[in-house]
Structure 1
Amino acid sequence: MYLADEAWPDLESYFEAESLALVPLGSTEQHGPHLPEGTDHLIAEAYAREVADRTGYLCTPTITVGVSPHHRQFHGTMWADAPAFRDYVESIARNLTYHGIDRIVFVNAHGGNVEHLREVGRRLRDDGTAYAVEWMWDESIPDLVDEAFARNGPHGGPKETAMIQHLHPELVHDDRLADARDGGIPSVEDADTVKHGARTFYDAIDNTANGVLGDQTDATAEKGARLFDAASEQLVALCEWLADQRFEDLLPRDHV
């Protein structure tokens, strides 16, 4: 069920029967010369809607701009300052709890959001309002991702390329895949920006001139479809597990 498509009386019946919601989040930032800037939020929304369709759980509208200042040197990248992002996401989560939701899955596809979503989840859990957990598709199927690509790359690499080839092939510049590979780097290790245990880079451009890593020519829509189905199954399982928990068991333990 997609919240924005429903009339309020129909949503009332959902809130009477269910207490779980999916909130997709991503970013609007550079993903190299071959992928759209909406890559992350397109992936997150696809997973959230797919799993909402499979399970009947509620999917909210997508939060399309995330914490992305580390991509700011590339044209068009948008970002929210971290405190503003946390407060905004928390406000949306508390809005859901007003209607009866007490467990939330942040369906996230942007690494820069992770620590901030975890902080929001902690705030909601600590005051007993809701239990919110962050989920990322590739972290739910790491072995499959590693098997599919020799150099998957953490950003704009073949795993994200394959996913957009599957979901939105019209947005992929397939004629630029070799340029993306040759203008980027295979991995952060190859950038040689970790010095004596310290990460000396702050921005993506400190590591890679065109903003991406990995071998984009290794991506195919078929690989994307296979990974999408596998990760969707993991998200379904997470939702079903979370819905089955007693809310009291999800709250912080008492002081010893």
Structure 2
Amino acid sequence: MYIADETWPELGDYFDDESLALVPLGSTEQHGPHLPLATDHLIAEALASEAAERTGYLRTPTINVGVSPHHRQFNGTMWVDAPEFRDYVESFTRNLTYHGIDRVVYVNAHGGNVDHLREVGRRLRDDEELYAIEWMWDESIPELVDDLFEQNGPHGGPKETAMIQHLRPELVREDRLADARDGGVPDVEAADTIKHGARTFYDAADNTGNGVLGDQTDATAAKGAELFEAASEQLCRLCEWLDDQPFEDLLPKDHV
């Protein structure tokens, strides 16, 4: 169920019976010469929509600009600063509690959002107002990602390429896949920006000339469909698990 498609009386029926919501989040940032800037938020929205359809749980609108200053050198990348992002997501989430939501899954598809969503979840939990957890699609199926791709990224690589080939094939510049591979680097280690255990890079441009890593030519729509199905299943299982938990068990433990 997508909240914005419903009327307020219809939503009253949902809030009478359910207390869980899915919040998709991504970014609007460069994903190399072959993928659209919308890549992350397209993936997040598609997975949240699929899970909402399968389970009946509520999906909110997508937060499609995230914490992406590390991609700022590339044309068109948009971002919000981390403190403002955290405050916005916290406010966005708190208003759901007004209607009776007490647990949220952040369906996230952008690595730059992870730490900040965890911090927001801690704030809400410490206030004993709501339990919110961050879920990252590729981290839910790491074995499958490793099995499908020899060089899987982490950014703009074949796993994201395959997902967009499956979800929005018209947005993939198929004639640029080899350029993406050849103009980027296989992985962060190959960029030689880790020195004596220290990560010396701050921006994507410090690692890769065209903004991406991995072998994009290894991606196919069929692999994307396999990834999407497996991740959707994991997300549905997470929602069902979370819905089954007594709310008091989700709150902070007492001081020892």
TM range (shorter): over 0.9
- After superposition, residues 19-168 of structure 1 pair within 5 angstroms as 19-168=19-168
Residue 13 in structure 1 maps to residue 18 in structure 2? no
* Equivalences, count: 256
Q: How far apart are the structure 2 equivalents of 1:152 and 1:193?
A: 19
Q: Which residue of 2 is the match for residue 211 of structure 1?
A: 211
| SS of equivalent residue, structure 2 residue 135 | strand
Residue ranges of structure 2 left out of the alignment (5+ in a row): none
Q: How far apart are the structure 1 equivalents of 2:254 and 2:80?
A: 35
- The aligned amino acid for 1:131 is Y
- The aligned amino acid for 1:141 is I
Q: How far apart are the structure 1 equivalents of 2:80 and 2:11?
A: 30
| SS of equivalent residue, structure 2 residue 223 | helix
Q: How far apart are the structure 2 equivalents of 1:135 and 1:154?
A: 16
Q: How far apart are the structure 2 equivalents of 1:65 and 1:128?
A: 28
- The aligned amino acid for 1:137 is W
Q: How far apart are the structure 1 equivalents of 2:11 and 2:201?
A: 46
Q: CA deviation at 1:179?
A: 0.2
Aligned CA RMSD, in angstroms, stands at: 0.3
Q: How far apart are the structure 1 equivalents of 2:172 and 2:12?
A: 40
Q: Which residue of 2 is the match for residue 178 of structure 1?
A: 178
Q: CA deviation at 1:109?
A: 0.1
Q: CA deviation at 1:210?
A: 0.1
Q: How far apart are the structure 2 equivalents of 1:225 and 1:155?
A: 19
Q: Which residue of 2 is the match for residue 248 of structure 1?
A: 248
Q: How far apart are the structure 2 equivalents of 1:59 and 1:160?
A: 22
Q: How far apart are the structure 1 equivalents of 2:8 and 2:131?
A: 24
Q: How far apart are the structure 1 equivalents of 2:31 and 2:73?
A: 12
Q: How far apart are the structure 1 equivalents of 2:82 and 2:127?
A: 21
Q: Which residue of 1 is the match for residue 235 of structure 2?
A: 235
Q: Which residue of 2 is the match for residue 195 of structure 1?
A: 195
% same residue: 81
Give the TM-score normalised by structure 2: 1.00
Q: How far apart are the structure 1 equivalents of 2:107 and 2:80?
A: 18
Structure 1 runs (4+) deviating above 6 angstroms are: none
Query: CA deviation digits over 1:211-235, x for unaligned, max 9?
Result: 0000000000000000100010000
Q: Which residue of 2 is the match for residue 2 of structure 1?
A: 2
Q: CA deviation at 1:251?
A: 0.2
Q: How far apart are the structure 1 equivalents of 2:211 and 2:184?
A: 7
Q: How far apart are the structure 2 equivalents of 1:168 and 1:27?
A: 16
Q: CA deviation at 1:122?
A: 0.1
Query: CA deviation digits over 1:167-195, x for unaligned, max 9?
Result: 00000000000000000000000000011
Give the TM-score normalised by structure 1: 1.00
- The aligned amino acid for 2:31 is H
Q: How far apart are the structure 1 equivalents of 2:10 and 2:154?
A: 40
Q: CA deviation at 1:71?
A: 0.1
Q: CA deviation at 1:38?
A: 0.4
Residue ranges of structure 1 left out of the alignment (5+ in a row): none
